[in-house]
Amino acid sequence: MKRIGQRRRLATIASLAGAALTVSPTTALAGRHADGHRGRHARAAHSHAHTAHTLTGTETAHLRLVRQHEEHLYEQGSASGPLPGRMSASLTVGATFTGEFQIHTRAGTITGHGTASPRGTGRYQSFRGTMIVSGGSGRYAHVHGRTQLYGSFDRRTFDVTIHTKGRLSY
């Protein structure tokens, strides 16, 4: 008779514990199953969360001509400022300057495009416009932003100095 009483008590305790784990609001809020493991949805939400960072400042790039095809220039050089590294750009010069670029840093790559209006008629032509950062890799996989763009273009050597000023989020 003692054994039957103990079994009943254990069965009652076990069923109460099971019911408590099944309906526990803290378990549901924490996104965990009764066994303590994260649920499918909690795992998915956790893996996509990342901390937003902001990068503010002035970046300068000194680019030299690598090759040219009519008004299309392919340039490479160094970038200094908040994102030091190497920069490569594909530029089209004309009534409006347009281009696509990549900045290669130790932490990742940043890509984007820009347009600028040239001024002047001498050897050195200044320009001003807008640069849009649209993506990247590594630490900068989610980078985006819009910055001011200005600089100078040497019509004889096709060297370009580019300054950007603004804020990027990643």
For residue 52, the model assigns a pLDDT of 84
Q: Phi first, then psi: give them for residue 8, nearest 5 degrees.
A: -65, -45
3-state secondary structure 117-155: EEECCCCEEEEEEEEEEEEECHHHCCCEEEEEEEEEEEC
For residue 2, the model assigns a pLDDT of 53
Write down the pTM of the prediction.
0.69
CATH 2.40.350 range(s) for the chain read 54-169
* Span of 17-31, 64-78, 94-108 with lowest mean pLDDT: 17-31
CATH of domain 54-169: 2.40.350
**Is 132 in contact with 15 (CB distance < 8 Å)?**
no
If one counts every other C-beta atom within 10 angstroms of the C-beta of residue 51, the result is 5
